[in-house]
């Protein structure tokens, strides 16, 4: 069996006929249990989604990681304040071996008032009255001086309105690094996010002084008050959708453009001083403040299973590590897994985890070997073999997921799970609701690891908005995805998990559209696709009930599940065209009692309608009551996703 996207795309048939009445006969006998991981999980793909997004740090380029001292790009996020002379330098006495660069501030003569520097944040900083912001930085004088004075840390608008200040005393005799920590609590909220974090000295008192700064930080309150934690509103949006697990460290961002720039777990744990950061794969620096331990704590905070990837010998620039040179990278993967689940008494990485406050192992079942290795399938045969053979020997209880096309190439040992990625049109997703029905039931399971309707143009899926590429999910794309998801639910005997991708996107600095959840420095925007994922996630069953199948080439799709703990029958319906469709649901006579009413949650709107930053609530689910019984009717609006819930014994 071969996964051939080009062939399957030929099955996409555009159908706009009027949808006639359909009768759906529902069975009382389940065909299979539904995995608890289906159908909504999360993937982090870094479109400014970790740094500047889920990770709550507010300062951009806080530690001058992986930049060239003296270059203008080294000052990304930073600017002079009232004539302060600033540059990024290679420190002669670095604050740590991982962070060799620092910000050098010179106070020129003849300046009055506050002189220093400011950070613009990740395209703005939200400032809210009464909120306490934690701030810290390291400073030192490169040459001893007699200066002693007050340094003012603050938040202000770009027009100069002061929102919060804190004053600390610094000494010119401080030639070794000293950390300063303080708090900022604004008494006034800013009406916009055009705000600055500032550090300044009195210009006249400090004239001629030179001060170096390193690892500056500004944190708002975090989700569940985790130190170095997550941004509350983004985390809250994800929590509300009921995720069941989390895939990390994030798609292509795992691989790096070169072997040297790959994601390395050991560079992402421990004190921030020891994290060098890395050049990410989407054009900006990853701080790795959101590291392996933060991901794992996040999984625990939301009760999600982790799906963790290990680097598997391939970099996006095209380098495949030769087989006889894989040994150190296999050991790196072993150490990474031991950090997560190892015994601190037997493993140094596990002992490190314990020293960082988590002596007990984390839960871990699934480990991905690489990411999208259909880009380097010829070398994946030996890379998969050598990694999995070694990892199975060390961790026989774990499941290892292959990331090539299914059964192409043939891998040894035979994968028990594959990660399948599909980006296509709304129509393709609707017409491929039966995508997995023909897969062999041979013990292999599938993780629909990335999928999304991203364009209306089947001939140029990855083109521009002018070519049909979606900027935000639409009602048409969301209903197409929902049709596909009914097929995932029907085939959940072999599809153990699925996740829309990408998950997060900063609208001010976007490299990819569309995304499930968008945000800027001030707010979060839930898409139509987000609400579809939430509807499926919060209305899961544990048993799949067979029913009359939809037409493979039709426009109306459904699935039926049972939630045994509550005796609920949950019916999901997707109508992928503008014409309303009438359905009659017939429950089996073996049910002795069927409620005469239930609830229906409906997401519907015009085909091209989207939730956007200027109109974030254009399309949201609406809940109402519905008359039910052993037989009942339902009229599915055009371009809609509906979830009907009723009790039946």
Last residue of a domain, one of 219, 234, 258: 219
pLDDT at 509: 87
Residue 283: band (very low, low, confident or very high) from pLDDT cuts 50, 70, 90:
confident
Please say if the pLDDT value at position 87 is more than 50. yes
**What is the full DSSP assignment across 344-402?**
TTT-HHHHHHHHTT--SPPP--EEEESS-GGGGHHHHHHHHHHHHHHHHHH-TTSEEEE
Q: Which of the four pLDDT bands, split at 50, 70 and 90, describes residue 251? A: confident
Q: What angle do CA 600, 605, 607 make, to 5 degrees?
A: 130
Q: What distances in angstroms separate CA 290 from CA 234, 311, 510, one per listed residue?
A: 14, 17, 19
Entry pTM: 0.95
- State whether 368 and 463 are in the same domain: yes
**Number of domain units in the chain:** 3
Contact between 362 and 298 (Cβ < 8 Å): no
Q: Using CA atoms, how far apart are residues 327 and 74, in angstroms rounded to an integer?
A: 36
496 HSE (CA, 13 A, CB side) = 16
Considering the domain architecture, whether residues 291 and 338 belong to the same structural domain is answered as yes
Q: In this predicted structure, what is the pLDDT of residue 39?
A: 60
Domain enclosing residue 271, as ranges: 225-539
- Considering the domain boundaries, does residue 519 fall inside one? yes
Q: Is residue 601 in some structural domain?
A: yes
Q: What is the mean pLDDT of the chain?
A: 94
Residue 602 placed within a domain: yes
Phi-psi region at 160: left, alpha or beta (left = phi > 0; alpha = psi -120 to 50)? left
pLDDT of residue 14: 30
Tell me: do 175 and 211 sit in the same domain: yes
Q: Would the pLDDT of 18 be above 70?
A: no
Residue at 437 is within a domain: yes
Quick one: average pLDDT of 134-161?
Answer: 97
Mean pLDDT value across residues 489-514? 94
d(CA 649, CA 136) in angstroms, rounded, equals 60
Kindly report the CATH number assigned to the domain that includes residue 212: 2.60.120.260
In this prediction, residues 439-463 reach a mean pLDDT of 97
Same domain, 333 and 206: no
Mean pLDDT across 481-492? 98
Residue 26: which pLDDT band, with cuts at 50, 70 and 90? very high
328 lies in the same domain as 362: yes
Out of 486, 518, 539, a domain closes at 539
Boundary of a domain, candidates 170, 197, 219: 219
User: Does residue 551 share a domain with residue 521?
Assistant: no
**d(Cα 502, Cα 420) in Å, to the nearest integer?**
14
217 pLDDT above the threshold of 60: yes
pLDDT on residue 559? 98
Range with lowest mean pLDDT among 31-45, 115-129, 327-341, 583-597: 31-45
What average pLDDT score do residues 102-125 get?
Answer: 97
Q: CA-based Rg of the chain, rounded to a whole angstrom?
A: 27
In a domain, 256, yes or no: yes
pLDDT band at 233 (very low <50, low <70, confident <90, very high): very high
Structure confidence at residue 41 (pLDDT)? 52
On whether both 322 and 470 belong to a single domain, the answer is yes
Q: In percent, how much of the chain has pLDDT > 70? A: 95
Q: What mean pLDDT is predicted for residues 610-628? A: 98
The domain that holds 263 is classified in CATH as 3.20.20.80
Same domain, 277 and 301: yes
pLDDT of residue 581: 97
In this prediction, residue 21 has a pLDDT band, given cuts at 50, 70 and 90, of: confident
In a domain, residue 197? The reply is yes
In a domain, 9, yes or no: no
Both 276 and 187 in a single domain?
A: no
Quickly state the pLDDT bin for 47 (edges 50, 70, 90): low
492 with 604, same domain: the answer is no
State residue 503's pLDDT score: 93
Name the DSSP letter for residue 17.
Answer: P
**pLDDT value at residue 250:** 81
What is the band of 15 on the pLDDT scale with cuts at 50, 70, 90?
Answer: very low
Across the range 328-344, mean pLDDT stands at 98
CATH number of 635's domain:
2.60.40.1180
Q: Cβ contacts of residue 597 below 8 Å, gap of 6+?
A: 625, 626, 627, 628, 646
505 and 570, same domain (yes or no) = no
pLDDT for the residue numbered 42: 53
Of 13-27, 103-117, 137-151, 371-385, which gets the smallest average pLDDT? 13-27
Q: Is residue 15 part of a domain?
A: no
The verdict on 347 and 485 lying in the same domain is yes
Confidence of residue 281 (pLDDT cuts 50, 70, 90): confident
């Amino acid at each position: 069996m071969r996964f051939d996207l080009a062939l399957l795309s030929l099955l996409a048939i555009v159908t706009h006929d009027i949808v006639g009445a359909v009768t759906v006969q529902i069975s009382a006998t389940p065909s299979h249990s539904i995995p608890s991981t289906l159908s909504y999980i999360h993937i982090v793909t870094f479109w400014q989604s970790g740094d500047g997004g889920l990770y709550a740090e507010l300062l951009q380029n806080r530690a001058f990681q992986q930049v060239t001292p003296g270059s203008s790009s080294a000052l990304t996020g930073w600017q002079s304040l009232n004539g302060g002379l600033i540059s990024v330098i290679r420190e002669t006495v670095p604050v740590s071996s991982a962070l060799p660069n620092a910000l050098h501030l010179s106070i020129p003569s003849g300046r009055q008032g506050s002189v220093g520097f400011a950070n613009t944040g990740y395209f703005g900083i939200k400032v809210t009255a009464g909120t306490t912001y934690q701030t810290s930085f390291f400073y030192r004088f490169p040459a001893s001086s007699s200066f002693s004075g007050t340094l003012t840390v603050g938040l202000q608008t770009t027009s100069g309105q002061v929102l919060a200040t804190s004053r600390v005393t610094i000494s010119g005799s401080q030639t070794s690094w000293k950390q300063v920590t303080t708090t900022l609590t604004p008494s006034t909220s800013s009406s916009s996010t055009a705000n600055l974090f500032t550090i300044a000295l009195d210009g006249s008192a400090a004239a001629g002084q030179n001060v170096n700064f390193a690892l500056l930080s500004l944190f708002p309150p975090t989700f569940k008050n985790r130190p170095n934690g997550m941004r509350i509103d983004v985390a809250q949006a994800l929590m509300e959708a009921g995720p069941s697990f989390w895939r990390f460290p994030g798609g292509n961002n795992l691989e790096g453009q070169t072997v040297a720039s790959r994601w390395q777990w050991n560079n992402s744990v421990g004190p921030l001083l020891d994290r060098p950061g890395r050049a990410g794969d989407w054009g900006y620096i990853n701080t790795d403040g959101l590291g392996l331990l933060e991901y794992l704590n996040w999984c625990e905070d939301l009760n999600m299973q982790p799906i963790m990837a290990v680097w598997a010998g391939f970099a996006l620039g095209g380098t495949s590590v030769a087989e006889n040179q894989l040994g150190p990278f296999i050991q790196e993967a072993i150490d990474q897994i031991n950090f997560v689940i190892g015994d601190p008494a037997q493993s140094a990485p596990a002992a490190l985890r314990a020293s960082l406050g988590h002596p007990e192992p984390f839960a871990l079942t699934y480990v991905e070997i690489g990411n999208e290795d259909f880009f380097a399938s010829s070398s994946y045969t030996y890379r998969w073999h050598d990694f999995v053979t070694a990892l199975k020997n060390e961790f026989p209880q774990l499941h290892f997921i292959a990331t090539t096309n299914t059964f192409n190439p043939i891998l040894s040992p035979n994968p028990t799970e594959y990660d399948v990625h599909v980006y296509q049109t709304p129509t393709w997703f609707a017409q491929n609701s039966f995508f997995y029905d023909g897969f062999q039931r041979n013990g292999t399971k599938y993780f629909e690891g990335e999928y999304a309707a991203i364009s209306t143009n089947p001939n140029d899926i990855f083109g521009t908005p002018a070519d049909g590429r979606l900027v935000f999910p639409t009602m048409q794309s969301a209903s197409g995805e929902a049709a596909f998801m009914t097929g995932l639910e029907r085939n959940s005997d072999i599809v153990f998990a699925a996740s829309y991708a990408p998950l997060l996107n900063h609208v001010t600095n976007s490299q990819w559209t569309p995304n499930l959840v968008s945000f800027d420095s001030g707010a979060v925007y839930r898409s139509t696709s987000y609400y579809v994922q939430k509807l499926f996630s919060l209305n899961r069953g544990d048993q799949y009930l067979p029913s009359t199948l939809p037409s493979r080439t039709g426009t109306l799709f459904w699935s039926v599940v049972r939630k045994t703990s509550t005796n609920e029958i949950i019916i999901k319906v997707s109508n992928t065209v503008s014409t309303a469709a009438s359905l009659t649901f017939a429950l089996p006579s073996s049910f002795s009692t069927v409620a005469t009413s239930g609830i229906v949650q409906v997401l519907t709107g015009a085909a091209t309608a989207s939730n956007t930053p200027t109109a974030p609530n254009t399309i949201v689910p609406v809940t109402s009551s519905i008359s039910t019984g052993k037989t009942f009717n339902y009229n599915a609006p055009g371009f809609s996703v509906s979830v009907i819930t009723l009790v039946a014994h």
